[in-house]
């Protein structure tokens, strides 16, 4: 959420309107400005009425009976006036809040102006992309041959975009998630397995509502929602808190299942593992001091964590600064990490690294006490560490071998009991250490 007090400045209103255009958002900054002015006028009328009420009350005690009768009539009239104005003020507050929750944050100057991902600014590549040879198959066929995923059986009872990771597919996914979680833990992030069913205020507080409500699953009887990312829960852990400066930075590594309806992607990426309704993710969240330079450094550190995971998995990828048209409502600057997927013949998004400034903390009321004793809203940032099953697309395709097996990257082998090659005949018992009952 923006600081509505800035709406006093017409230049800021213009800047906000421009931000909405750049982000391709249907938002009218002038309408928000008008709502702010309406509330200001009513607040002024309420203050004036209460001042008159206070002034008349002072003279009431020492007045004679005749004067008191007149004063009482005036006080009754003012009291009715205040009640009426209070109703108007509450309505104006609700209107302002409703519009303010839909306002965008202003993109960082480093964000390239553009409309689609074609306008993103690619800043580096890592690794050599592998092209699909005639003897190669895509991840769907490879997963079927190796017995890693049930597509048809899962969709029979769960519907489209549903899968079941089975056997070695489940163990391979667990290994990737565990490796990413361990990396973040070693780098000072606190592991968290947070709630994935949350109240509406958590979704509003992190900026996923009201604009993204159509992508969320709702538990109607509970009036709660399944999160599309553990970012919602990790940020909300500190909702309505006043933190000490010594508490910051707070860095979380959340591991959870995530749920998205994919309402805006009807007919897109329906084959395979790229876009499913339920997935698992290790997410990075940082809560830091309100400092732009510190935020820039923190964002690059989060980005490095994700690239380190991809390098460990030996997956070619590239990093791009997202253009304004590819940014979400609250994002100030976003890096997209796109991993090469041979069957798609393209780099495709696997990570999104975002800085939000105080957008989420204002909505969630997360403050800290500065070194001067004042209070300020914290800054928040987030980035995917790894998300599965999407990461299995490049992992399986890039590392497949001519005999139909899949090579296990060296860094991942300790999480699979040292296994170097995955075949259709590999028993799941070989992917876990020998279990000895106590």
Q: What is the pLDDT of residues 144-181, one digit of tens each?
A: 999 999 999 999 999 999 999 999 999 999 999 999 99
Instruction: Say if residue 221 is exposed, middle or buried (CB neighbours under 10 Å; 0-12, 13-18, 19+).
Output: exposed
Catalytic residue flag (residue 261): no
Question: Out of 336, 390, 397, 405, which one is annotated catalytic?
Answer: 390
Confidence of residue 60 (pLDDT cuts 50, 70, 90): low
Closest by CA to 13, choosing from 34, 36, 30, is: 30
Whether cis (ω within 30° of 0) applies to the bond prior to 389 is yes
Closest by CA to 324, choosing from 124, 121, 123, 102, is: 121
Catalytic residue flag (residue 352): yes
- Joined together, the tokens standing for residue 217 give 């699953």
Catalytic residue flag (residue 52): no
Give the pLDDT confidence score for residue 307 in this predicted structure.
98
Question: Out of 260, 318, 332, 363, which one is annotated catalytic?
Answer: 260
Instruction: Give the range among 215-219, 284-288, 330-334, 352-356 with minimum mean pLDDT.
Output: 215-219
Residue 274 pLDDT more than 80?
Answer: yes
Question: Out of 233, 352, 355, 364, which one is annotated catalytic?
Answer: 352
Q: What percent of the chain lies above the pLDDT cut of 70?
A: 96
Q: What is the pLDDT of residues 120-135, one digit of tens each?
A: 999 999 999 999 998 8
378 neighbors 364 (Cβ within 8 angstroms): no
Catalytic residue flag (residue 260): yes
Give the pLDDT confidence score for residue 266 in this predicted structure.
65
Question: Out of 95, 275, 369, 407, which one is annotated catalytic?
Answer: 275
Domains of the chain: 4-100 (1.10.287.40), 117-431 (3.30.930.10)
Give the pLDDT confidence score for residue 173 in this predicted structure.
98
Q: What is the pLDDT of residues 340-393, one digit of tens each?
A: 999 999 999 999 999 999 999 999 999 999 999 999 999 999 999 999 999 999
| Element spanning 105, H or E | none
Eight-state DSSP code of residue 46: H
Catalytic residue flag (residue 187): no
> Which three-class secondary structure state does DSSP give residue 209?
coil
Question: Out of 349, 362, 364, 397, which one is annotated catalytic?
Answer: 349
Give the pLDDT confidence score for residue 53 in this predicted structure.
80
Give the pLDDT confidence score for residue 262 in this predicted structure.
83
Confidence of residue 71 (pLDDT cuts 50, 70, 90): confident
Alpha carbon dihedral 193, 195, 200, 203, in 10-degree steps, equals 10
Whole-structure pTM value: 0.93
Confidence of residue 264 (pLDDT cuts 50, 70, 90): low
């Amino acid at each position: 959420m923006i600081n509505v007090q800035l709406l006093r400045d017409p230049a800021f209103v213009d800047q906000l309107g421009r931000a909405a255009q750049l982000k391709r958002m249907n938002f009218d900054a002038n309408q928000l400005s008008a709502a702010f002015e309406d509330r200001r006028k009513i607040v002024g009328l309420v203050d004036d009425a209460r001042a008159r009420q206070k002034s008349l009350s002072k003279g009431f005690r020492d007045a004679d009976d005749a004067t008191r009768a007149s004063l009482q009539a005036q006080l009754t009239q003012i009291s009715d006036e205040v009640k009426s104005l209070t109703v108007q003020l509450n309505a104006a507050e609700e209107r302002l809040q409703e519009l303010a929750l839909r306002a965008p944050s202003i993109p960082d100057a480093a964000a390239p102006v553009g409309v689609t991902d074609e306008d993103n600014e690619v800043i580096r590549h890592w690794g050599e992309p592998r092209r699909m040879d005639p003897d190669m198959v895509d991840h769907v066929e490879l997963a079927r041959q190796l017995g890693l995923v049930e597509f048809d059986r899962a969709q029979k009872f769960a519907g489209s975009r549903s899968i079941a990771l089975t056997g070695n597919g489940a163990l391979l996914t667990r290994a990737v998630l565990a490796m990413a979680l361990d990396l973040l833990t070693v780098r000072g992030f606190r592991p968290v397995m947070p709630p994935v069913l949350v109240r509406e205020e958590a979704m509003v507080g992190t900026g996923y509502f009201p604009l993204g409500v159509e992508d969320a699953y709702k538990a109607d009887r509970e009036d709660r929602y399944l999160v599309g990312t553990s970012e919602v829960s990790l940020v909300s852990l500190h909702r309505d808190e006043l933190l000490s400066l010594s508490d910051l930075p707070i860095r979380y590594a959340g591991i959870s299942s995530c749920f998205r309806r994919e309402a805006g992607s009807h007919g897109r990426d329906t084959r395979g593992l790229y876009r499913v309704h339920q997935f698992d993710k290790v997410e990075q969240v940082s809560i830091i001091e309100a400092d732009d330079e510190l935020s820039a450094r923190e964002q690059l550190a989060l980005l490095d964590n994700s690239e380190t995971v991809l390098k460990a998995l030996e997956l070619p990828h590239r990093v791009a600064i997202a253009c304004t048209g590819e940014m979400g409502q609250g994002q100030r600057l976003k890096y997209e990490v796109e991993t090469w997927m041979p069957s798609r013949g393209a780099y495709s998004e696997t990570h999104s690294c975002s800085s939000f400034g105080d957008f989420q903390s204002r909505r969630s009321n997360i403050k800290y006490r500065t070194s001067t004793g004042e209070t300020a809203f914290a800054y928040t940032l987030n980035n995917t560490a790894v998300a599965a099953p999407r990461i299995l697309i490049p992992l399986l395709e890039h590392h497949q071998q001519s005999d139909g097996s899949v090579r296990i990257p060296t860094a991942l082998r300790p999480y699979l009991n040292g296994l170097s090659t995955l075949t259709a005949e590999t028993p799941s018992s070989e992917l876990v250490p020998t279990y000895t009952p106590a």
